[in-house]
Amino acid sequence: MPEEELHTSSYWFSFSEEAAARKSKNEMQFALLGLANVLVHIAPLYLMCDPFDIRVVPQVKAIHSQRPTIYFYDRYPGGIGLSERLFEVHDELLKQAKSMITSCTCLSGCPACVGPIEEVGLLGKQQALELILEAERKS
């Protein structure tokens, strides 16, 4: 029988229910998407891989935890260890994400940081930053 799904490895981090409660569903969507867009830029730098090799997928309500979650997937069947390596540098990833957002000179978001405002909304930058602060508070 041919495989129908891509079995690969992944790493994820979730936000607390309190963090979720502080934002509307829409705000959380923008915040997660903004943060995921930043992580897409950053993750390949740590892995020295092609940005295409890793997928970053935000979910407002993850099936396994019911919480806002960001997933990282290897794009290869079985995984090639990329997501494991990201897990190891988790704190560093968030730190870099924060500095990428705060050092970007755009006002509300741009393709070089959280993504264009059409995608993440006018508060996309702020929302993504708030999420990082939530994640840091926890660790």
Looking at residues 79 to 138 of the shown chain, list those that interact with Zn ion (rule: CB under 5 A). Answer: 104, 106, 110, 112-113
Looking at residues 26 to 85 of the shown chain, list those that interact with Zn ion (rule: CB under 5 A). Answer: none
Q: Which is nearer to Zn ion, 20 or 110 (CB)?
A: 110
Shortest distance, position 129 Cβ to Zn ion, whole Å? 12
Q: How far apart are CA 109 and CA 24, in angstroms?
A: 19
Counted residue by residue, the chain has a size of 139
Strand order in the sheet with 69-74: 10-14, 69-74, 54-59
Q: Which is nearer to Zn ion, 40 or 112 (CB)?
A: 112
Q: How far apart are CA 56 and CA 128, in angstroms?
A: 15
CA 14 to chain centre: 10
Shortest distance, position 63 Cβ to Zn ion, whole Å? 31
Where do contacts with Zn ion occur on this chain (CB under 5 A)? 104, 106, 110, 112-113
